[in-house]
Amino acid sequence: MAVTSASLFAARTRGDVGAGIADILALLGVPDLISFAGGFPDPRTFSRERVAALLAELADAGEVNAFQYAPTRGLAGALEAFADRIEAAQGRRPAAGELVVTSGAIEALELVGKSFLDPGDLVVVEGPTYLGAIQAFRSFEADLDAVPLDEDGLQVDELERRLARGLRPKLVYTIPDHQNPAGVSLSAERRSLLVELARRHGFLIVEDVAYRELGFAAQAPASLWSLAPDVVVQAGTTSKILFPGVRLGWAAAPAGIAARLVSAKQTTDQCAGAFGQRLFEEFQRRGWIDDQVVRSRALYESKCARLLAALERAMPPGAAWTTPRGGFFSWLTLPDGASSSDLAQRAAERGVGIVPGSLFFPDGRGDESVRLSFSLVDEAQIDEGIARLAALLAG
């Protein structure tokens, strides 16, 4: 018998996790593709010169921490810097025991899954939701139930109805700000109701704030974690405001839960990379992240406006799309009967990358929708890419 026999694979790998994210990352390497596919930051936002200068400075100063293993919870300086940033952005400072530095937000989700989910446990997600979260929770053999979204984010009243009918989730995963993939944000009223439901029904909210700092204008409503730090685990990332190459993020949670996450982290990566932690700490201290965030917001706002104008101009009657107020994404609903998986295939042949909507649902729904990411695509190519999509829909 060959040792690669599928019968040797663990049961948890047989869940329908699929190659979703790997397939999207692979699209990055396709030449001349006009890609609305990945949720990647624009490389023009990366502060290359500052990184180069900082690395030279650290090396010259005989810095050791950046090159060494770090404590599992994180380097003291990085923990301080994260607490500073969270306090400035959210109005509440995590206490020392409430914070863990992670290798990106995806690791925070993985650690939550590892710490809370037994096979068959129920996780409520938004429909649609972040593909990586579906994959992370599925890998622990959890059952996923998707509650719909609208322009004001998760339909919390629908969640309330399902809870009243006996739904008993352990976790409710939400992306309240500039959601991936729908580009919508959770209203302030719904945030209050959601945390009240968590307290009443005894589930934990997993709040993913990946795009929170990338709002185009108005201040975001209070984060769920700042409203209810007793029932929320917040997963955050520096990928969209610094760069993803260092794989860095955080989890903020009640101290008892944070301690569990630190335990779980010992057998994923032992510690987040010290290099990235030191870079982040210095960028934060020197105000360089704030500079970058200001430039990023303006860049993404202008790309978003260009995308919305192109959609308005080109899309056939019956198509509809969300109007993001930040982040990277708009959610396009195709005219009657059109299939996004079919469109994605034909678009790829015409040199345009999109991700079909069904990838963002745990139950195969969503084929009538498409995620359009405007963050990476060259501004000058947005019109051409949307015109090609529209022509495919018309033909």
Ligand X SMILES: Cc1ncc(COP(=O)(O)O)c(C=O)c1O
Q: Which residues contact ligand X by CB under 6 A?
A: 39, 104-106, 130, 132, 175, 180, 208, 210, 237, 239, 244, 249
- Toward ligand X, which CB reaches closer, 233 or 338? 233
Q: Kindly state the DSSP code that residue 232 receives in the 8-state scheme.
A: E
Which residues make beta-bridge pairs with 249? 102, 237
Q: Which is nearer to ligand X, 109 or 311 (CB)?
A: 109
Q: Which of 226, 232, 222 is nearest to 253 (CA)?
A: 232
What the block records as the tokens of 330 is 């708009």
Compute the least distance from the CB of residue 101 to ligand X, in Å: 12
Residue 71 CB, nearest approach to ligand X (Å): 20
CB of 353 to ligand X, least distance (A): 15
Contacts within 8 Å (CB) and 24+ apart, 30-35: 30/353, 32/351, 33/348, 33/351, 33/352, 33/353, 34/351, 34/352, 34/353, 34/377, 34/378, 34/381, 34/384, 34/385, 34/388, 35/352, 35/353, 35/373, 35/376, 35/377
Q: How far does Cα 287 stand from its chain's mean position? A: 24
**Alpha carbons within 13 A on the beta-carbon side of 45:** 26
Structure tokens at 289: 């992240």
Whole-angstrom Cα Rg for the chain:
21
* Minimum gap (Å) between residue 150 Cβ and ligand X: 18
Interior angle at CA 209, CA 171 and CA 227, nearest 5? 70
The CB-of-359 to ligand X minimum distance in angstroms stands at 13
Of the two residues 212 and 306, which places its CB atom closer to ligand X in the complex? 212
Residue 136 CB, nearest approach to ligand X (Å)? 9
CB of 289 to ligand X, least distance (A): 15
Question: Among residues 21 and 393, whose Cβ is nearest to ligand X?
Answer: 21
Residue type, 285: R
- Give the CB-nearest residue to ligand X: 104
Q: Which is nearer to ligand X, 77 or 244 (CB)?
A: 244
Token pair recorded at residue 357: 């909507």
Q: Which is nearer to ligand X, 104 or 356 (CB)?
A: 104
State how far the Cα of 257 lies from the Cα of 237, in Å rounded to an integer.
Answer: 19
Closer residue to ligand X in complex, CB, 39/74: 39
How many Å apart are CA 349 and CA 341, to the nearest integer?
13
Measured from the CB of residue 204, what is the shortest distance to ligand X in angstroms? 17
Which CB, 113 or 393, lies closer to ligand X? 113
Side chain identity, residue 88: A
